[in-house]
Structure 1
């Protein structure tokens, strides 16, 4: 199984239309899971951004061939002018409703870039506490030297998450658990103490092909191990498990 993320920056009207019309796994061959999110910038100040920047689709597939076919499907049209990445699952904690089981035991990723997806359903009566706790974590992510790019994922009213790219798992882990800057670790402590979320999922993936534009560029162009739009070559493919990924 592989996963794909499709991210497009667009106006509110088009974003809402795509958000409300995700592809149906029952109607698209090889599609195991699909969920759409509105997107916003990661927080730079005390308050989260209220400006919707576009829409994102996260999907799970039997193999690359089915994903290739989907790119010509009408449900893929809203994402044609955006950016997409193909990913192999490497680790998960918690689960998302409807998503097939992801590996719980960590699969080594070495110096490969990683994608991290965190999604939670916030308790309504603890929303303000969540906003305060998550603020420093979001601000510090963008300033971390291992951070490549990222955005906020939203499913109104209470599902909030992040999608982020990291140069390697060591940098990502240092941000998540490191004492400095420490915003993410403090946010996790507050969540454990006050149970801010009904459900929480963290999953990590290894990207092996990326194409299109996120903003003005492909954020994975700078990483030698990602082979642009060719999903059949490059150092890591869905059929190559010899390195434990």
Structure 2
């Protein structure tokens, strides 16, 4: 079965710098369909803050022909072994909005076990260079909304030079996620996300963009001392 995976790991500084310029995941890896190597960011932090770009903290989003291909990569590939020391979640595709080059929309859509099951959202965008200042103006308030939202178990942002930005979030359930998206949550200034989407429709920030929704299948390892994010009690 075609699956996706999202990985978080802290790696040596030298390897992290190398990863900014050279893809550490071999594109010819057996069963690999698509991958993004990214540097983690602190959601909502000022652009010039030292905490904005967490160079040693790496986020990987990938798509695989099968779960066995992912397991072989983690067990046998040199960089896969490094990723296996961190945290990762395996994901079943539910639906998408927009398109990103290289990611193949699966033919089979997963369904959540019940309305209160956790759900995962991944966004990936290729920025128009001249739109970056306007994107930051609208995007950082949205980052703060997601970061502080009571409906998330985990949320991060990530970046790949020169123009790729991404977010990853695990939500308690679909209702919490969709309430945030449409500006109906009980958080302060709840319309930050919906207003940013209206601005994007008015004048797009990106030349490629997708939002992907997934069913969490399984979790492995830990991130900053925590594990089993999808099994937290609401």
TM-score with structure 1 setting the length: 0.82
Offset of residue 182 of structure 1: 1.1
Indicate the residue corresponding to 2:172 in structure 1: 167
Q: Which stretch of the first structure deviates more once superposed, 60-69 or 206-215?
A: 60-69
Q: Distance in 2 between matches of 1:53 and 1:23?
A: 16
Structure 1 gaps of 5+ residues are: 225-245
Q: Is 1:84 aligned to residue 85 of structure 2?
A: no
Indicate the residue corresponding to 1:22 in structure 2: 24
Q: Distance in 2 between matches of 1:64 and 1:197?
A: 31
Offset of residue 29 of structure 1: 2.1
Q: Is 1:94 aligned to residue 101 of structure 2?
A: no
Q: Secondary structure at the match of 2:202?
A: helix
Is the 8 Å Cα contact of residues 16 and 38 (structure 1) preserved in structure 2?
no
Q: Distance in 2 between matches of 1:188 and 1:11?
A: 37
| CA 208–142 in structure 1, closer or farther in 2 if over 3 Å, else same | same
Is the 8 Å Cα contact of residues 93 and 109 (structure 2) preserved in structure 1?
no
| CA 116–74 in structure 1, closer or farther in 2 if over 3 Å, else same | same
Q: Tell me the C-alpha RMSD between the 2 structures.
A: 2.3
TM-score with structure 2 setting the length: 0.85
Q: Distance in 2 between matches of 1:187 and 1:32?
A: 31
Q: Distance in 1 between matches of 2:210 and 2:118?
A: 20
Indicate the residue corresponding to 1:33 in structure 2: 34
Offset of residue 24 of structure 1: 2.9
Structure 2 gaps of 5+ residues are: none
Is the 8 Å Cα contact of residues 93 and 213 (structure 2) preserved in structure 1?
yes
- Matches of residues 1-245 of structure 1 in structure 2 within 5 Å? 1-18=2-19, 20-26=22-28, 28-44=29-45, 49-72=52-75, 73-102=77-106, 108-109=111-112, 110-180=115-185, 181-220=190-229, 222-223=231-232
